[in-house]
Chain A
Amino acid sequence: MTLASILIQLLNGLAAAASLFLVSAGLSLIFGVTRIVNFAHGSLYMLGLYGAYSLIQFFGRTPLGFWGAVVLAALAVGLVGILIEVLVLRRIYRAPELFQLLATFAVVLVIKDIALFTWGAEDLVGPRAPGLSMAVEIMGRRIPAYDLLLIAIGPVVLGLLWLLLTRTRWGALVRAATQDREMVGALGVDQAKLFTSVFFVGSVLAGLGGALQIPREPANLELDLAVIADAFVVTVVGGLGSIGGAFLAAIIIGVAKAFCIGIGTVTWFGVEISFSKLTLVVEFLIMALVLVVRPYGLLGKPQAAQRAAEPAPRLQVPSWTFALVWLALLALVPLAADRYTTILLTDIVCFALFAVSLHFIMGPAGMVSFGHAAYFGIGAYAAGLLLKRFGLPMEAALLLAPAIAGLFAIVYGWFCVRLSGVYLAMLTLAFAQISWSVVFQWDSVTGGSNGVFGVWPSAWLADKTAYYYLALVLCGAGILFLWRVLFSPFGYALRAGRDSPLRAEAIGIDLRGFQWAAFVLVGALAGLAGAVYAFSKGSISPSSISIAQSTDGLIMVLLGGVETLTGPVVGAAIFTWLRDAVARNTEFWRAVMGGVILLIVLLFPQGLVGGLKALVARWREQRA
């Protein structure tokens, strides 16, 4: 590379870093004060981009129209943030943290469909900035003037935020709450107002980040989850709650991505390496590296311990009669049901195992995973590829797939168990995204975005009812096995480590070792669920490994209730059935799902099964 091209890539990276910084700073601010991981933050960015597009059309393509639209779009997104905070989150601040996460998933679904309804499914390409559409010549290369402006905006916003945080009373409150939320509450500060204002500022930053991208990036419906993944990476690399860290991380990642595109394909020692294909992965590689070396990010500090967390409830051993009665009922269904119901039930059985394996790791083992789809997807792809590319019989592919998912869990888990809390969750997301982008781009092996076709079971399982029985036996056995393990010494050691890592270490328990083993166990079983699912569908697409698939799993677990064993199964059944039923009737099934989830979150903050149990208990009390 010449000096000039290095400079160009550097400037490209810095321009991309600006929006990345804005959206991440907002996320970091909101997390710092409210301790809410706002999954809807990417959706706010997306709204900013769409909003600016429409407002420019309304105002006209003049400099005033353009910049007025950008500012107004950002402010409007800020109002949306206030709405989310006041209508949803404020009502559940006392609920367990994971429930707030579930609520923000629901908001993602709702906003996606509002955008689909308002702007349609086509990508919308915005105009160039009037007056800034020319290019500036630097060292013989042409750089868009708009990019230079973006490069300047990043530090300007950083400076303004710094002034706001250090020179105003509001800033002092925000910094105090980031360090110790309870103490700030105890000092008589109106937390509701503080949270709402922080949500407003954070959302404006997200909206501005989106709106500023209008000349560079078409508005599309996939932005919400793509951007949230980027923003997570930036905040985690920089250190949660650190605005300066977010700035530094945004620059590192923006520049690294730009260089990957700029370098293109290189041949080293006869091996062809495509750096441009690395763009989707490079940020996650940086994140994994940073977290292993500095577990709290570049400029982050260890999180303050949360006081007086509610202890997890005791788990009830499920009785064998209970399990067998249900299995018997499920075995009888195909006798009465039609083909469609049988296929839907097969889906439900697969997702039930997926959800139970996720529950195992996030509930009793205390390690929340945002990327559990990695193992589901790897299991599915392993099954498909062993069948199609290696010519293995279907039965062998089905049984080997969980082992391969387990192998990946060995590698990913080794890194993940070194972290805890939100950092751990983000790292699981990173590994899932790395897996996704490899699958998505490796056309020659995985079929790229098309996926793998013709993954059908052997003849004796071709009948849908026969396959349903296979799924029921395999997934049912997997679920019962995981439940059994929860009540074994191994499962108790995991629960003990979740309750008190300090005490676990003090009585000789190698907690990391146990957590690692648990990671591999649930990875293999999620892989089994994925493999069974793949053969029931006959094809596999990269969506089986996507963030959306991971969040589906989280929704299933949280919907049913993380505090009960049967919750995830109920959650998987209701979610899968509801999605199917709603999607058959309306294009806007996501909004309906989101609405239902919000309703459940607000009515039953312990999840469906937990909420029903509480209702039954209250009813019994009244009768007694």
Chain B
Amino acid sequence: MLDVENISTYYGNACALYDVSFSVTENEIVSIIGANGAGKSTLMKSVMGTVRPREGKIVYKGKDITHVQTHKIVKSGIVYVPEGRDVFTKLSVEDNLTMGAYSKPAKAKELNALHEEMYEMFPRLKERRKQMAGTLSGGEQQMLAIARGLMSKPDLIMFDEPSLGLAPIIVDEVFDRIQAINKRMGISVVLVEQNAFMALSISSRCYVLENGKVAMQGKSSELIDDETVKSAYLGM
């Protein structure tokens, strides 16, 4: 459903991505792993249009979205959950969720149903619905960022380092929810991670980014046994 074809992205003269291609098909989890500065976030931002690729093409559901405005991309069904739990700290949990549904105006009833659906999936958020998002713990903020992304009923959701700075037990919980989103709601997932082991264990396919290029790609189950991946990313 998403095809990124040979994109190159630059920050000024610095090349952040060089000739990168990747694709996501319906209902699968694709992971993208790589070290700091490999270009993982730039790749996500290029897809969302917050950074524009200089060359190449991004096709979503048969449509070229390379030059489409970000908010229209979201409307067409791709949602990006940014790195570092980007929630609106000065708004309540409830309002944060409502903001997620902004691009698809819903009636009050539908909106309530959506809220309830999210609270069912993330019960902690329900307890804290009236609280300012800035007062939540790191794990709760990550859950909120995910739930906010789901509010617009996307077909494809992209997570940027959802495990960043979270306690191991919370990381498990986050990955558990990501799998649930994929299985129960039938949403395709792109997972960008430094935590290579977790990413490989829940995804079906994986791309390895190195210095802005795709160094390796393949089935996650095979990459997890690959010697290079093992030594470079799994520390084994």
The answer on A and B forming one complex is: no
Interface residues, chain B, with chain A CB atoms under 8 Å away: none
Q: Residues of A with Cβ closer than 8 Å to B?
A: none
